[in-house]
Amino acid sequence: MLSIIVPVRNESENLKDVFDYYTKNVKDFKYEVLIVNDFSKDDTLNVARELEQKYKNFKILDNKKKGLGGAINLGIEKAEGDYIAIMMADQSDDINDLKKYFQIISSENLDAVLGSRFLNNSKVENYPIRKLILNRIFNLIVSFIFWNKYNDYTNAFKIYKKKALVEILPLISESFNIFLEIPLKIISRNYKYKIIAINWMGREKGKSKFKINELRSKYLFTLIYCFIEKNLLNLKK
């Protein structure tokens, strides 16, 4: 079974539309959706409760540790599936890529499938140009520091074998930088993974919670932490 972790904060405008669409289009495999409420102040929790009543495979989790990192950790802890996908609730992720993720990871016995928005076959729409440029530069720096070919660490939408995620705990990042920490640990610890092209579309409703200026120090902390861990692991070999 696949567990889909969806952290939400103030996503009432998107939540119903995105999950009605998912339930109509994902019928190929068994899955559960874990909606992790991260201190929403709008009507997100009420919308999530409606979805929980409507769909038997939807569950609401209430994050007690404020921050996206806490929401992801709670989702991993409560997930019942053998595989875990992390998706956002802003309608940016392509449901067809989720199907592709699950087919690949389950049929090829991988620990992770890492999607990239920046490969030849990828399609990206409505990405603010400043964010896009900074994102590409940052990902190139990370790839260089860790000496690998992956080029989209900052995107949340990926799929993992639950066993692998449990083995790389603890995840210490508190915000969006958790989406950097997870794939860096997967790659540095030599888990089996595959990189594939995915599609992405910028949000049309609601406000982005990603604030570059506020997150720079958090990303730097995660980079340093993962770099030290990687080199310590190499010393033990």
Dump pLDDT digits (tens) for 32-78: 999 999 989 899 999 999 989 988 899 999 998 878 999 999 999 99
- Could you report the per-residue pLDDT of 107-164, keeping only the tens digit for each? 999 999 999 999 999 999 999 898 899 999 999 999 999 999 999 999 999 999 999 9
Domain encompassing residue 87 = 2-236
**With 0-12 CB in 10 A as exposed, 13-18 as middle and 19+ as buried, what is 156?**
buried
User: What pLDDT is attached to residue 25?
Assistant: 82
What is the average pLDDT value for the chain, to the nearest integer?
Answer: 92
Q: Is 31 in a helix, a strand, or coil?
A: strand
At residue 126's C-alpha, the angle toward residues 125 and 128, to 5°, is 125
User: What pLDDT is attached to residue 4?
Assistant: 96
Q: What CATH number should be reported for the domain holding residue 29?
A: 3.90.550.10
Average pLDDT estimate for 15-39:
87
Read off φ and ψ for residue 79, nearest 5 degrees.
Answer: -65, 135
Of all residues in the chain, the percent with pLDDT exceeding 70 is 96
For residue 115, give both structure tokens: 């999607």
Rounded to whole angstroms, how far apart are CA atoms 170 and 183? 14
Rounded to whole angstroms, how far apart are CA atoms 160 and 95? 16
Please, which residues have CB within 8 angstroms of residue 157's CB and are 6 or more apart in sequence? 85, 86, 87, 88, 92, 93, 97, 115, 198, 200
Q: Categorize the per-residue pLDDT at 234 as very low, low, confident or very high, splitting at 50, 70 and 90.
A: confident
Q: Categorize the per-residue pLDDT at 195 as very low, low, confident or very high, splitting at 50, 70 and 90.
A: very high
Sign of the Cα torsion 150, 109, 3, 103 reads positive
CB 140 within 8 A of CB 151: yes
Number of domains in the chain: 1
Q: Is 70 in a helix, a strand, or coil?
A: helix
User: What pLDDT is attached to residue 20?
Assistant: 84
